A and B are shown apart, each in its own frame.
Chain A
């Protein structure tokens, strides 16, 4: 944006002309080149996921040049002397070959694995950001669902990926996968036999997982990533509730050149950090585990982190099994394998629609909520985080027991109890914190903020001077919408609204949603005084009266 705008150089004009005459693309470019991207640190989390996915594609392609997805037995004679002469599958031997005989192979393997871990971690962090700020609300429910699908696919992709080297640890993971498949009622053994091409481990599972890992799932992920980005681009990114941002306008820096350069730097950061980890932090040293042997296992076997919550739920489940009419229902496997994942994924998928139904809010939302301003949502979110987090830590209960010298059974019992208590506590505590923060906001609006200036009155009383918040802060404070009162049970003529049981449930949930709402509104001239305090208390009372 220099002040002396000259005609564009020929190279630019020529290329643009060439493309435009064939595709008519200039209209599109013109509309989008200055597209505004609102700024907030938390908006980078999704970008990390995107860029680690690209790192995964690049390093993954490299690995396929040498990896042999075959379970045929060979005798290793590569340069890792500890395993020379040992019989192993070609998959494992070629993984050793990549690690020790292909220059840069170990680096690419380690970058690939670290990027996978980062990919899943950043998706989760991004999802939490979207959830806690309410960014999934209309019109973005579809992108939320696409994100959940990608998260689920990412779990599968990771599981299949780390199963490929056919080392002792990955074989144990597959054994557990097989045991879980077998437990499914009616069709379990069929799924097991069809997946493994016979009995475990057989000869087919690695080539099959390889195909799923390098072709089918990445293709689905790529399609979903594209859809996710196109929808985001089309709908425009949400903004945080700060000055200049509103439902009608978006404020920020233009895509070209600022956002483009920033996001380019971000890609370089992600690649750089994964390379740094690949260079200096060992991950999945399969050569130490040895080839898969169904009779062997090492203690402290742990899956990658994103499988941890499933591992934990398997560990803390009591031994329930039903035997009746010649059939066995293995609840001790079935429940932990399906229930937590089902609760989290189904819960997350229906949540945007449930929330809209309960609150009756069918409006479009482009400005996010501050987490404190939606206490029930934030509390539910924290309950889910606690639920997931406890299961995840339970997946390492043997490590905890060993490192902290606690009885292994005690750790299991701890998680069995907190599994139920933890989420409830998290809900209550989070909701109280949110409401406390709302009160503080209401006070800041009414009284002003602390100035750090202590004033002595003529009688000798000390007090701190409060001053009106700055305009930008005021904007943030006032971004909270006062909860809408529930529709009255009776209309003007006193006739009760016709409500079925579902309608009553909805009213009840709606009341729970808005129960402790603290209205944050400006009261006239600002400043501070007794009157303001009354106003806050008064508004609380009027809510009491409404109930």
Chain B
């Protein structure tokens, strides 16, 4: 704001202290007018100095008043619009009305504030009579005498209280205070349950168990969203990918826990062309003709690894770009995830895709007890 505070040191403006000088042809003129400006005290970041030129002050006053009137009009429009138009036909209906209301209310509000702000700024710069002033800076620290006097008082107070000469008093007081400081931490215990084994299993375990109790070999896979069980023939096109959940979650999981169970059990089903598929050792029969199921919860920090590139068979997590190879037991190809996505053992029963067991390892991000 202030010219005087300019950071640039070696300005290239012509200097004028030297008085008149001959002008060399082809060079800039010595610029008389700049000399008038360049006198010492141009400061005036604010205030018009001591004296005001009454005529220009009058002009500035009219400008400021016009801006204040504009602000007034804007606020009145704000109120008028709110009362008269924003809620017509019994309220806003949908995006269009909300957008229109937002433009009018926001626009008038911004105008009111900005017109006032500009008005006050012009007022300060053109109409306020004030001079820059100088104030002393004082030492913050007290002098030696005051300081030692206070130190004396402090020590004396401590002695008067007896806390320095009665160690029993002091120590028992500290002893009394220590557990009191710990008490609030104990109170926080009921913020949540202990982790126990909760992170080691998903709802697939309960679902498989229920299916086996009913004499089946495993639980059917249902499509996330429609909850329709999936036939092998429904999912025969190589390169397709879909999100699945165990059957029966809607009926059997308490309503308020549904989202939490889904967050762990959510699974992606991918049909990898059989020619490209390399099942992991010991998991030769976990897939159905190349149709393979992996946990959708990224092993990095738990975002859904939801993007699937058909040509490369890469599964990509859009949060931090961990990339897994669907053909090769979801091993990490790139990115910050350190472990492959856990695989769900699949099979077929009555033409439907089923899961025969839970994931064999905890899904989602790594944690200390995971091992």
Q: A residues within 8 Å of B by Cβ?
A: 1-2, 34-36, 39-41, 72-73, 79-81, 99-101, 103-104, 106-107, 110-111, 139, 172, 175-176, 178-180, 182-190, 192-204, 234-236, 240, 242-244, 247-254, 257-259, 261-262, 264-266, 268-269, 271-273, 275-276, 278-280, 287, 292-301, 311, 314-321, 323, 326-330, 332-333, 336, 364, 366, 370, 397-398, 408-409, 412, 440-441, 444, 448-456, 467-473, 476-477
Contact = CB atoms under 8 A, between A and B. Distances in A.
Contacts of B120: 261-262, 264-265, 268
B75 to A, nearest CB: 12
Which 7 residue pairs spanning A and B have beta carbons closest together? Answer: A279-B106, A179-B301, A272-B113, A294-B263, A321-B338, A268-B117, A272-B114
Given A39-B5, A275-B106, A330-B338, 14 more contacts: A79-B91, A80-B95, A81-B94, A103-B86, A175-B302, A178-B301, A247-B137, A296-B304, A328-B369, A330-B365, A449-B10, A449-B11, A453-B14, A473-B10
A330 B256 contact: no
Contacts of B30: 453
Contact of B195 (A100, A192, A197): A192
A264 B191 CA distance: 44
A79 B99 CA distance: 13
B260 A279 contact: no
B191 A197 contact: yes
Contacts of A182: 302, 364-367
A441 B134 contact: no
Contact of B243 (A34, A250, A295, A323): A295
Tell me what chain A mostly uses at the interface: helix, strand, loop, or mixed. Answer: mixed
17 contacts: A79-B93, A103-B87, A175-B263, A183-B365, A189-B369, A190-B194, A202-B260, A243-B4, A248-B137, A259-B46, A265-B120, A279-B107, A315-B321, A315-B336, A318-B336, A321-B338, A364-B140
Contacts of A185: 368
Contact of B117 (A272, A293, A295, A476): A272
Nearest to A193: B192
A67 B208 CA distance: 41
B264 A279 contact: no
A467 B10 CA distance: 11
Contacts of B18: 467
Contacts of B123: 261
B135 A101 contact: no
Contacts of A409: 321, 334
Indicate the member of A104, A186, A196 with the most B CB atoms within 10 Å: A104
B287 interface: no
Nearest to A411: B321
B329 interface: no
Contacts of A330: 338, 365-367
Interface of B: 1-2, 4-5, 7, 9-15, 17-18, 21, 24, 26-28, 30, 38, 40, 43, 45-47, 82, 86-87, 91-95, 97-98, 101-103, 105-107, 109-114, 116-118, 120-121, 123-124, 128-130, 132-137, 139-140, 188, 191-195, 198-199, 224, 243, 245, 255-256, 259-260, 262-264, 266, 296, 300-304, 306-307, 318-322, 332, 334-339, 364-371
A110 B92 CA distance: 17
A294 B262 contact: yes
A250 B137 contact: yes
A265 B224 CA distance: 55
Given A100-B98, A250-B134, A262-B124, A276 B106 contact: yes
Contacts of A250: 134-137
B163 to A, nearest CB: 28
Contacts of A193: 192-195, 198
A253 B45 contact: yes
Given A179-B300, A328-B370, A199 B260 contact: yes
B336 A314 contact: yes
Contact of B27 (A314, A332, A453): A453
A308 to B, nearest CB: 13
B38 A470 contact: yes
B364 A441 contact: no
Contacts of B46: 39, 253, 258-259, 262
Indicate the member of B5, B21, B24, B307 with the most A CB atoms within 10 Å: B5
Nearest to B304: A297
A483 to B, nearest CB: 19
Indicate the member of A203, A275, A298, A477 with the most B CB atoms within 10 Å: A275
Contact of A262 (B116, B121, B321): B121
Indicate the member of A250, A280, A453 with the most B CB atoms within 10 Å: A453
B47 to A, nearest CB: 5
Nearest to B111: A272
Given A73-B255, A189-B368, A252-B133, A408 B321 contact: yes
Contacts of B193: 193, 198
B224 to A, nearest CB: 6
A398 B5 contact: no
A319 B332 CA distance: 9
B103 A294 contact: no
Contacts of B40: 471-472
A194 to B, nearest CB: 4
Contacts of B300: 179, 314, 332-333
Given A249-B135, A296-B304, A333-B300, A265 B336 contact: no
